[in-house]
Structure 1
Amino acid sequence: MWTSGRMSNAKSWLGLGMSLYFWGLMDLTTPVLSGTPTPPGRLEAFLSDKPQPHPRTKRSWVWNQFFVLEEYTGTDPLYVGKLHSDMDRGDGSIKYILSGEGAGVVFTIDDTTGDIHAIQRLDREERAQYTLRAQALDRRTGRPMEPESEFIIKIQDINDNEPKFLDGPYVATVPEMSPVGTSVIQVTATDADDPTYGNSARVVYSVLQGQPYFSVDSKTGVIRTALTNMDREAKEYYEVIIQAKDMGGQLGGLAGTTTVNITLSDVNDNPPRFPQKHYQMSVLESAPVSSTVGRVFAKDLDEGINAEMKYTIVDGDGADAFDINTDPNFQVGIITVKKPLSFERKKSYTLKVEGANPHLEMRFLNLGPFQDTTTVHISVEDVDEPPVFDPGFYFVEVPEDVAIGTTIQIISAKDPDVTNNSIRYSIDRSSDPGRFFYVDITTGALMTARPLDREEFSWHNITVLAMEMNNPSQVGSVPVTVKVLDVNDNAPEFPRFYEAFVCENAKAGQLIQTVSAVDQDDPRNGQHFYYSLAPEAANNPNFTVRDNQDNTARILTRRSGFRQQEQSVFYLPILISDGGPPVLSSTGTLTIQVCGCDDEGHVLSCSPEAYMLPVSLSRGALIAILACVFVLLVLVLLILSLRRHRKQPYILDDEENVHENIVRYDDEGGGEEDTEAFDIAAMWNPREAQAAGAPRTRQDMLPEIESLSRRVPQTRAGSSAVHSYVLAKLYEADTDLWAPPFDSLQTYMFEGDGSLAGSLSSLQSATSDSEQSFDFLTDWGPRFRKLAELYGAPEGPAPLW
């Protein structure tokens, strides 16, 4: 390596020698840069390329390329070359000027001698060449002595850049068990040096780490497998280090490295295996269909798609009772119930389960079958099962005008156990908050308990419960959907208040209004309305109605010449009828105002002359009027309050507590005629009657529904007629706000006739000389027992009727 001084001297001598060489060839090597002749004179560019093979037109400028090495580290400016004109006599009369890329910043020129120097460190990788322009001027006059022209300074490369892997580190995958020479990935190193100059950019690849498993092509950088039978289950990850060295790998070259992380991908080379050959499981007979019984697992050393399993039942007496599915997340076989089980029918099952790989590779079939089998024993455990409904869903259609107490459906359930316990029915009140329905406790007859209105509720979704008598905790349920069918029980009517106007100058037959109607009913064939004048206005001389046959009607004038002074408002009654059956109708009133209009029919005024009070009222008069109105309102309220108290039943003592379910007799009783004073349903089953008959519109009591778990008598006689009567009476009691609470208080207004015992009054007993006979109690005992047997009264002491 030269020092900066020696290099500068050597380049000066080299430039001088080349200048002398080209001085003699100047006339032969001058290229034509312009079509116009130039004055005599020549400028030399040193370090020129090879001379032209044929003579050209003489010119003073000769431009070729200059060359300068990059990365000069000397302290003195680096000599590049020399410019010289043959018109230069060496007396300093010629001034050389340099312009263009880098002029004055990277390159400078001695304006007297024409020497060019580089004053900055040059880097070919930043810029490979510079284009500059030179000009020779007369120093005294500034006149150009030579035409300005361009020349190029090229930066020569040295090996100052090591190879680099711009895309590293690399990640690659290759299947396990791949044969030798299988391509894994190609790595590429780039060298910033000039690839056209020497070996500075010629890269050679080699493996520094990763042998003997992998190799690399020294020229292309392709990494390949170097060993066979690389097993992912033994070793999955490999870290390979690749080196790239320039100068063709020769000593002194620069090198760079990168890391390649290679993963062996899985192939299906391992068959599945069950760790257990026998599984023991149990399931309750009440387990629902699709519920899980247990899990089996076949282990596979592979992963991903190659470890996927498919489980099937291949044999056994439980193939029709159980099913098996594969969990895709954990690759386990889930055994589920396929159909309802019964301990009484079959107590155990045996299954033969197979686990197999669905994805196979032909080249590994010689490793053996890719499936395995195991045996599963399932025991069915006995449980007390709730009642079962047959069918499991009820759909009932009921007209909305059905009578209260009508049986609309018979609900049936049975105990699936061997004991076959008795069943009692009830309605889940949360599904029927309006208490529209009632179910017979023993027969399951579903009846209406309140009037149905399709326009209010067109669907009812209720739940009927069935309870075992011997085990109240076993309760079954069934959904019952009741569709309320429409009947024509609503008359059509105007959807809004209709108000029209007629001009005083209206002509006969003029349209003043088009009306339509609405009907809350929904007939299957659609609504069809008929319009006409009401009977009391059939011969109306002023207006008429024309039915449009499209559920609308037109109102027309029958005469002309209306006058506000004569009559400012007309009320036209219109009869609207529907298509039935039965045909229902209503009368709507159309208010027609007489208005003053212009000739085009535009309303000018519809109000008659306002009535003017003769004298304006003072503030005191207004206050007096309001005070009178207030006094009248107070009197009305007092009168209404007195009338309400008169309608109340006999007043009870304030000290008595009416919440203790007391039956009070204000007089002696009336024997059998007093049976109307109590509820027959309470004799059948007080709990059910109370639950079904609890009023919804009253706020004076909130009866609690007793639990179905309490024992209910199993014997009962009666008919649906009695049910209908009782339910109708319950509904009347619910809707009568003046009646006493249904199950808490009864007041008897008179004794009644027909009592076998005569009077029981204590007052009469005190005044009578004879002893009172109580033998009637003995006579009535058998009657009470007969009633208890007939209506299913609960066992225990006879009630006080």
Structure 2
Amino acid sequence: MRTPLVLLTWLCLWEEAKGMLRTTGGLSGETWSQMRADGGPVTLRRSKRGWMWNQFFLLEEYTGNDDQYVGKLHSDKDREDGKVKYVLTGEGAGTIFVINENSGDLHATRRLDREEKASYTLSAKAVDKATGRDLEGPSTFTIKIHDINDNEPKFTRDPYIAAVQEMADVGTFVVQVTATDADDAMYGNSAKVVYSILQGQPYFSIDPETGIIRTALPNMKRENREHYQVVIQAKDMMGQLGGLTGTTSVNITLLDVNNNPPRFTHGVYHFSVPELAEVGSELGVVKATDADTGKNAEMNYRITDEQDTFQITTNPATQEGVLILKKPLDYERRASYTLRLQVENVYLDPRFQMSGDSATVKVSVEDVNEPPVFKRPVYMMEVKEDAQIGTIIGAVSAVDPDTNRKPVRYMIDWHTDMDHVFNIHPNNGSLFISRSLDREEKAWHNISVQAAEYNGLIGHVPVYIKVLDVNDNAPTFDVEYEAFICEDAKVGQTIQTVSASDADQPVRGHRFFFRLASESFEKSNFSVRDNKGDLQQRITRRRS
């Protein structure tokens, strides 16, 4: 029967050694024999049957100058006479781990890091030096690197970026931070992290176990302070003395809520506008400020009176109120206006009861030197075509709309009366004829009359003159007539129909009367008969 290989290790503490063995199950059916008083290697003896180690423990980050002792391999067949050689194979054999082939002492040749590699699996056997025959077959065992607290906690981010609404209730969740520790979480407290705030109190608090940051101060206003930098520490060893620490920053921004109403920058605004300003023109801007930002600072302006004359809109880029003229102004009728403005937020937060602000706007209308204005927009006049030169056909009238009421002079725009048919009295605006009229030549005259101030401003008005017809044209036959008749024509037979026209224009049409010339009437063989019309007559045979 083969005798199993016995593995020995250097143990620091008796209780720790027993605990390791119980945990790893490294001892099977064995008993402890003794422990040297000087702390030397412990020899394990079997009482009834074979047993062996299956694990070694080695502290990481060894700082000594010599190779680190791991343990001792020993076979029952080794009589310590130098005939047995121990051979090591597996992970790191010959490089990281070496064995004294004569004594079986196992050493680590360099400093090990558990976080780099936590365990190594190796095999060992005992060989007869003389014959090379295996005295003990390969036995596999594990060297576990025992963790020490050599890694500080590291946060998953640095910095963290977070935001929370201003005026949030105490205890409102902000963000959760997380730190990890590369040490062994299954051994001791090296990887057990506790969180605390180094900077950021009394505004924020943190749960020491979960890393959740919450608000700790009531009624924090963005308008007072918008940005906070909170420094968080993570400490291992459950925060105990000697634990390693890591830190991170958390940049927290207070988000705006609509808890501020808009306020006008002035109680009274003054604007001046010329009376000739066009409808739709901007008269000026008013400004209200809001301590909030974004859509919480968007506002509406409105006019509570004089809404027919003015209106106000909001410039979306600047949030200014733009005052706009809605209807024409007239300095002579009204020289000033007083408006009442109201401003309110567009988006209201039901949690805050806020009212808008009001202001007064005083608008002064500036007088402008305006051209004369005619009392009528257009003049219609009539004159008979046989009126004498110099006959007054009507008059126009214009006044200076300005308060000083400057006198005006009248004239005809000669571009509209190239033939100078009419003239006007410069002082009173009376129109009279300066040339003879002929309705049949031109029935309407459309002219423009000007009214000018002495400073040169001119007003215009159209004047339409209708020439009335008089009976000043004799009828004329339409053509030269030539008639033929047979010698056997009957009495009363129609020989020719004649017609006439008149250049005049009577109200109800013309009525013509035809007759034969008196000197030929008695001797004539023909007569003229009415054709029951105004323009035509029949010439008939009177006798044989």
TM-score bucket (shorter structure): 0.5 to 0.7
Map of 1:777-792 to 2, 5 A cutoff? none
Structure 1 residue 207 corresponds to structure 2 residue 197: yes
User: 1-side partners of 2:199 and 2:409: how far apart?
Assistant: 81
The superposition leaves residues 659-695 of structure 1 with CA deviations (integer Å, 9 ceiling, x where unpaired) of xxxxxxxxxxxxxxxxxxxxxxxxxxxxxxxxxxxxx
User: 1-side partners of 2:350 and 2:207: how far apart?
Assistant: 31
Q: What displacement does 1:469 show?
A: 10
User: 1-side partners of 2:185 and 2:248: how far apart?
Assistant: 22
User: 2-side partners of 1:165 and 1:200: how far apart?
Assistant: 16
Tell me what 1:275 maps to: 265
Call closer, same or farther: CA 1:341–1:95 in 2, change over 3 Å: farther
Q: What displacement does 1:219 show?
A: 1.4
Tell me what 1:261 maps to: 251
The superposition leaves residues 720-752 of structure 1 with CA deviations (integer Å, 9 ceiling, x where unpaired) of xxxxxxxxxxxxxxxxxxxxxxxxxxxxxxxxx
The superposition leaves residues 319-349 of structure 1 with CA deviations (integer Å, 9 ceiling, x where unpaired) of 2343322223322111123455565676544
Determine helix, strand or coil for the equivalent of 1:305. Answer: helix
Tell me the amino acid that sits aligned with residue 267 of structure 1: V
- Which structure: larger Rg? 2
Call closer, same or farther: CA 1:228–1:92 in 2, change over 3 Å: same
Call closer, same or farther: CA 1:26–1:230 in 2, change over 3 Å: closer
Q: Is the 8 A contact 1:285 1:380 kept in 2?
A: yes
Determine helix, strand or coil for the equivalent of 2:188. Answer: coil
The superposition leaves residues 98-122 of structure 1 with CA deviations (integer Å, 9 ceiling, x where unpaired) of 2332222221112233221111111
Tell me the amino acid that sits aligned with residue 73 of structure 1: T
Tell me what 2:163 maps to: 173
The superposition leaves residues 542-598 of structure 1 with CA deviations (integer Å, 9 ceiling, x where unpaired) of xxxxxxxxxxxxxxxxxxxxxxxxxxxxxxxxxxxxxxxxxxxxxxxxxxxxxxxxx
Tell me what 2:175 maps to: 185
Tell me what 1:375 maps to: 360
Tell me the amino acid that sits aligned with residue 311 of structure 1: Y
Tell me what 1:131 maps to: 121
User: 2-side partners of 1:423 and 1:330: how far apart?
Assistant: 53
Structure 1 residue 224 corresponds to structure 2 residue 214: yes
Map of 1:515-554 to 2, 5 A cutoff? none
Q: What is the aligned counterpart of 1:316 among 302, 305, 315?
A: 305
Q: What displacement does 1:74 show?
A: 0.8
Call closer, same or farther: CA 1:67–1:321 in 2, change over 3 Å: same
Determine helix, strand or coil for the equivalent of 1:131. Answer: strand
Tell me what 2:429 maps to: none
User: 2-side partners of 1:61 and 1:100: how far apart?
Assistant: 21
Map of 1:36-55 to 2, 5 A cutoff? none
Tell me what 2:148 maps to: 158
Q: Which moved more, 1:86-95 or 1:356-365?
A: 86-95
Call closer, same or farther: CA 1:360–1:136 in 2, change over 3 Å: same
Tell me the amino acid that sits aligned with residue 327 of structure 1: N
Q: Is the 8 A contact 2:9 2:71 kept in 1?
A: no
Q: Is the 8 A contact 1:243 1:257 kept in 2?
A: yes
User: 2-side partners of 1:300 and 1:13: how far apart?
Assistant: 73
Call closer, same or farther: CA 1:213–1:143 in 2, change over 3 Å: same
Tell me what 2:314 maps to: 326
Call closer, same or farther: CA 1:144–1:334 in 2, change over 3 Å: farther
Structure 1 residue 69 corresponds to structure 2 residue 54: no
Call closer, same or farther: CA 1:280–1:111 in 2, change over 3 Å: same
The superposition leaves residues 169-188 of structure 1 with CA deviations (integer Å, 9 ceiling, x where unpaired) of 33333322222222222222
User: 2-side partners of 1:273 and 1:89: how far apart?
Assistant: 102
Tell me what 1:252 maps to: 242
Q: Is the 8 A contact 1:102 1:130 kept in 2?
A: yes
Q: What displacement does 1:296 show?
A: 1.0
Q: Which moved more, 1:74-83 or 1:259-268?
A: 259-268
Q: Is the 8 A contact 2:283 2:325 kept in 1?
A: yes
User: 2-side partners of 1:82 and 1:421: how far apart?
Assistant: 135
User: 1-side partners of 2:329 and 2:132: how far apart?
Assistant: 118
Tell me what 1:353 maps to: 341
Aligned residues: CA RMSD? 4.6
User: 2-side partners of 1:364 and 1:82: how far apart?
Assistant: 79
Tell me the amino acid that sits aligned with residue 361 of structure 2: V
User: 1-side partners of 2:243 and 2:28: how far apart?
Assistant: 45
Q: Is the 8 A contact 2:409 2:451 kept in 1?
A: no
Q: Is the 8 A contact 1:237 1:263 kept in 2?
A: yes
User: 2-side partners of 1:292 and 1:442: how far apart?
Assistant: 39
Determine helix, strand or coil for the equivalent of 2:230. Answer: strand
Q: What displacement does 1:158 show?
A: 1.2
Q: Is the 8 A contact 1:47 1:81 kept in 2?
A: no
Determine helix, strand or coil for the equivalent of 2:164. Answer: strand
User: 2-side partners of 1:421 and 1:194: how far apart?
Assistant: 111
Call closer, same or farther: CA 1:306–1:115 in 2, change over 3 Å: same
Q: Is the 8 A contact 2:262 2:344 kept in 1?
A: yes
The answer to which structure, 1 or 2, has the higher relative contact order (CA under 8 A, 6+ apart) is 2
User: 2-side partners of 1:420 and 1:128: how far apart?
Assistant: 115
Aligned residues: 369
Ranges in structure 1 where 5+ consecutive residues have no aligned partner:
1-7, 30-45, 387-414, 425-439, 444-467, 476-708, 716-801
Tell me the amino acid that sits aligned with residue 215 of structure 1: S
The superposition leaves residues 9-68 of structure 1 with CA deviations (integer Å, 9 ceiling, x where unpaired) of 965998xx99xx99xx98858xxxxxxxxxxxxxxxx9999x9xxx9xx9x995612110
Determine helix, strand or coil for the equivalent of 1:298. Answer: strand
User: 2-side partners of 1:441 and 1:63: how far apart?
Assistant: 130
Tell me the amino acid that sits aligned with residue 226 of structure 1: A
User: 2-side partners of 1:168 and 1:420: how far apart?
Assistant: 88
User: 2-side partners of 1:288 and 1:173: how far apart?
Assistant: 50
Tell me the amino acid that sits aligned with residue 155 of structure 2: F
Tell me what 1:297 maps to: 287
Tell me what 1:489 maps to: none
User: 2-side partners of 1:81 and 1:48: how far apart?
Assistant: 11
Determine helix, strand or coil for the equivalent of 2:252. Answer: strand
Map of 1:34-113 to 2, 5 A cutoff? 62=52, 64-113=54-103
Call closer, same or farther: CA 1:378–1:146 in 2, change over 3 Å: same
Call closer, same or farther: CA 1:337–1:28 in 2, change over 3 Å: same
Q: Is the 8 A contact 1:47 1:66 kept in 2?
A: no
Tell me the amino acid that sits aligned with residue 165 of structure 1: F
Call closer, same or farther: CA 1:77–1:423 in 2, change over 3 Å: farther
Determine helix, strand or coil for the equivalent of 2:352. Answer: helix
The superposition leaves residues 525-546 of structure 1 with CA deviations (integer Å, 9 ceiling, x where unpaired) of xxxxxxxxxxxxxxxxxxxxxx
User: 2-side partners of 1:261 and 1:442: how far apart?
Assistant: 82
User: 2-side partners of 1:27 and 1:175: how far apart?
Assistant: 64
Determine helix, strand or coil for the equivalent of 2:296. Answer: helix
Greater strand proportion: 2
Q: Is the 8 A contact 2:54 2:140 kept in 1?
A: no
Q: Is the 8 A contact 2:230 2:249 kept in 1?
A: yes
User: 2-side partners of 1:13 and 1:332: how far apart?
Assistant: 82
Map of 1:190-589 to 2, 5 A cutoff? 190-313=180-303, 315-317=304-306, 319-338=307-326, 347-365=335-353, 369-383=354-368, 442=416
Determine helix, strand or coil for the equivalent of 1:257. Answer: strand
Call closer, same or farther: CA 1:290–1:128 in 2, change over 3 Å: farther
Call closer, same or farther: CA 1:380–1:100 in 2, change over 3 Å: farther
The superposition leaves residues 259-292 of structure 1 with CA deviations (integer Å, 9 ceiling, x where unpaired) of 3333333322222222323222122345445432
Q: Is the 8 A contact 1:47 1:65 kept in 2?
A: no
User: 2-side partners of 1:227 and 1:12: how far apart?
Assistant: 52
Q: What displacement does 1:75 show?
A: 1.0
Greater helix proportion: 1
